[in-house]
Structure 1
Amino acid sequence: MTHPLRRPPPGALTGAASPLLDVLGASWTLDAPVIGVAWDGDLAGFALGDGSLAMGRADWQGSPQLEPVEGGMRLIPAARPPPPVTRLRVHQGACLSIARHPSGGFLSGGEDGLLAATNAEGIVSVLASHPGRCVDLVASGAAGWSAAASGRQVEIGGIATHALELPASAAALAFDAVGSRLAVAHDRGVSVWTPDAPVRVLPTPGCPISVAWSPGGDTLVCGLQENALHGWRLSDAGDIEIGGCPGQPRSLSFAADLRLLAISGAPRVVCLGFDRWGLDPAGAGAPPVECGLPSSRLPVCQVACHPTYPLIAAGYHNGAVLLCQPGSEDVLFVKASGGGSVTALAWSPPDGGRLALATQGGEVALVPLPGLLFRFNPAPQGIPAPQGIAP
């Protein structure tokens, strides 16, 4: 099934050209750059460069709503503005990373060497302290494990506590979809940790800056500083050769239903077809598929594949955020340009009913995406043929 974007009928959203944020979402301007975002249920947490954590919800009493009407939908405007976000000082110095805490709330790491937990009520607990060091990266998985990286050391907590010593400083962390394996990218390689097996080191031809698991956990891919990608089949550690990229692939996102990998760095979102054996399952040498603004000259800096629909959220260096569909030039704007580069995009789990976004200039926003905005049509297996946005 495909779910192409459906353009609202004229007047249904007080002007179909309005970005979705302006008619359905909530935004706040904070006086600090936003480092990252994570979801805990319907609560979004934003890590800020001044060491604080901001938390907010996309729905509030009196928020705008869509209701179905014959031939389309009708907007019920907001009865009251969104409440302010809850903002807490968690770190001295910048907050460097954020992830959902396996028990609820958020994990964050900071320049002050603290690994902290903040629950939905705003209670902050220090889980670990590393004086003189920074907690650069945090991650968590579905199986209850969490990880925090400080230079070459990675501490893994959950059922038991583990310590991982790397050959070089960690550059990216990612748990697989099950949450039982951790990939740690570092100079010239990716180390794969599992609770009951020796650490497996997969060498790279360059310096990784991002890492991502395929939804089934069969493939691992990292983006390289050298404007390239490198991947592995986890069954035999076989290398997957991937060509160069037009820019640095700092953001990677797999789309399960489409079996593709979306990457940032180019003026448009670049999508590479994948299955468990690597690129181009059909073996026909198909070129990458692009989507997004065909006239863009600015690079995409963040990508996030929808967990249910064949849609990709793309954030640009000018602050614009849009939704696009692989193989189509049609787009639907979520946010207009402004506010600095987009630094974070995240769909709410498990169904992607809300999108959280943030910028370098300190703007944070939450946008509900109800099912009324989408239509459902059958499609062939693999990347769907372009169907665009319905008139």
Structure 2
Amino acid sequence: MESRSERDALLVRRLSLVAKVSGLTAEMQKHNQILAGLEMDLLRIELETGRDGSSEQLVRDLHEAEQAAQMAMAQRADCEERIKAAEKEVEAVDREIAASGALGGRPMNQQSMRNLTLFDLLARNWQCQSAVTGLAFSGDGLSVAFACADGTVAITAAEDREPPEKRVRVSGDLGQTTIRPREKPPVPLIVTAALGDATVPLTAQPRYGFLAGSAGSEVVPVSGAGDLGAPLFKAGGPVIALDRAAQAGIIAAGYENGVTLWRGTADARTFDLGKPLSALALSPDGRRLALGLDDELSIRPVQGSGAARNLPLPARAVSLQWSFDGAWLACGLENGGLALVSASDGSCSIVPDFAAPVRDVAWSTPAKALFASGAFRIAGWSDAALPLGGNSDGALETGHAGLVPIEAVAAHPAKPLVAAGSANGRIVIAKAGSRDELVVRPMGGAVTALAWSSDGRHLAASCADGTAAVATFPDQLFK
């Protein structure tokens, strides 16, 4: 009888300790919400300072926000230590309970504490059945499509049913901004039938929906509701690369050793390239097509006459991106380098010494700059002083250096900001030429792609661990 009384006392004690841990965890979540709000305030003040110059009021606001952030971090650290101590007490009681046989010798499961991050508060995220390797926003910005490694396409609405504006609260006494967590889970993704047994290329339709290449050599329209339309045309083989020049209405579909061009109702034209294709990109006006072919870059006219321009490369091209005016082509290389090609004279300059393949490049009109992945920090240069012939005068020191390479970059469409994702899952937003950065997600699955919506409110991310996410930012954050 005495033994049973002791076990009952242990169970009562454990319930009390678990309640204590739950209360401390709720307190920790409150500290994280406060910190997330303060991070937003700090970034807003820094952006205002960069835009309008420093003022007495902005300096005072920045000082107060920094002090509040330090106090909040100290309070969070103290709360975390109290949680650790309480969890150790729970573990000790669990050992006593297991020894007493109150639960048949089985230890009780404990729910681990999970600190809320800015990503948890701002982003909707889903777990797909396979790695997510690419993404695209539709031309109207209403939906996002994620390309999965199992050949399916997963789609969601860009708009958040619980936007951060509805969850932001400013305390009346201290003026601190907090964001409460979501009350409901996000609407599940719409997943299409498999278009192949591996990732299919995606691109946006000019107004709504998407285009996807298939293993059956077809280019298929995909609606924002996940419906597959009748194929537009058939390429010369299973489609591995896809691009569209919206201005000219031209679609380029690349397959293993060739490319097929299609112009609306006109018949598709197929060209044998004679070499394995690794990447393609149409110029914004649709007049030129850039092709990564094994160890060379080929730029060919699509409209009008003219000969192809073939340039040798030190490594295979893995990414191609034209500048918005079509004057320059940035070519990311598989073995640690970046090639910059002038469209006017065909001159090519190699920027070496990248730590990893340059899988992503992004031109920014607001920042008047070029950004690239593949380095331990965001690589960037002013477009008025590109790194030609070893010149580094235009280098933009952007964000902090990390321990793992940047895998993906995306330039904000309206602000001089760039988002970057790393192999360790870290996602940050930085102002061009500034070391300050906002940590959106501290860690997670390796980031494979990032993209901003056309209005700059949403940032979509895809990850190698199957995570697909869309973060929606409050309007006041980037003002």
TM class by smaller structure: 0.7 to 0.9
Mapped to 2, the partners of 1:310 and 1:271 lie a distance apart of 12
Mapped to 1, the partners of 2:241 and 2:176 lie a distance apart of 44
Match of 2:90 in 1: none
Mapped to 1, the partners of 2:290 and 2:306 lie a distance apart of 13
What is the correspondence of 1:1-391 to structure 2 with a 5 Å cutoff?
5-6=43-44, 19-40=117-138, 41-65=141-165, 75=179, 77-102=181-206, 104-125=208-229, 126-129=231-234, 133-143=237-247, 144-159=249-264, 160=266, 161-187=268-294, 188-198=296-306, 200-206=308-314, 207-275=316-384, 278-279=386-387, 285-286=392-393, 288-294=395-401, 296-339=402-445, 341-349=446-454, 351-375=455-479
Q: Which runs of 4+ in 1 moved over 4 A?
A: 7-11, 14-18, 66-74, 128-131
Instruction: Give TM-score, length-normalised by structure 2.
Output: 0.68
Query: Partner amino acid for 2:165?
Result: Q
Mapped to 2, the partners of 1:122 and 1:257 lie a distance apart of 33
Are 1:170 and 1:185, in contact at CA under 8 Å, matched by a contact in 2?
yes
Stretch of structure 1 that moved more, 245-254 or 41-50: 245-254
Percent identity over the alignment is 28
**1:287-320 Cα deviation digits (max 9, x unpaired):** 63333333x2111111111111111111111112
SS of 1:373's equivalent in the other structure is helix
SS of 1:55's equivalent in the other structure is strand
Query: Partner amino acid for 1:195?
Result: Q
Mapped to 2, the partners of 1:180 and 1:109 lie a distance apart of 22
1:151 Cα deviation after fit: 1.3
More strand by share: 1
Are 1:54 and 1:87, in contact at CA under 8 Å, matched by a contact in 2?
yes
Are 2:132 and 2:463, in contact at CA under 8 Å, matched by a contact in 1?
yes
Mapped to 1, the partners of 2:163 and 2:184 lie a distance apart of 7
Instruction: Give TM-score, length-normalised by structure 1.
Output: 0.82
Mapped to 2, the partners of 1:82 and 1:230 lie a distance apart of 41
- Cα 1:314–1:200 shift into 2, 3 Å: same
| Gapped regions of structure 1 (runs ≥ 5) | 376-391
Mapped to 1, the partners of 2:366 and 2:207 lie a distance apart of 29
Are 2:137 and 2:204, in contact at CA under 8 Å, matched by a contact in 1?
yes
1:182 Cα deviation after fit: 3.0
Are 2:124 and 2:471, in contact at CA under 8 Å, matched by a contact in 1?
yes
1:117 Cα deviation after fit: 1.8
1:78 Cα deviation after fit: 3.3
Stretch of structure 1 that moved more, 14-23 or 107-116: 14-23
The structure with more radius of gyration: 2
Match of 1:385 in 2: none
Query: Partner amino acid for 1:230?
Result: A
1:372 Cα deviation after fit: 0.7
More helix by share: 2
Are 2:336 and 2:356, in contact at CA under 8 Å, matched by a contact in 1?
yes
- Cα 1:55–1:63 shift into 2, 3 Å: same
Are 2:396 and 2:432, in contact at CA under 8 Å, matched by a contact in 1?
yes
Match of 1:389 in 2: none
1:176 Cα deviation after fit: 3.0
**1:38-88 Cα deviation digits (max 9, x unpaired):** 111220000111111110124243444256969675646534221111111
SS of 2:211's equivalent in the other structure is strand
Mapped to 2, the partners of 1:171 and 1:30 lie a distance apart of 26
1:28 Cα deviation after fit: 0.4
Are 2:318 and 2:333, in contact at CA under 8 Å, matched by a contact in 1?
yes
Mapped to 2, the partners of 1:292 and 1:314 lie a distance apart of 9
Are 1:63 and 1:78, in contact at CA under 8 Å, matched by a contact in 2?
no
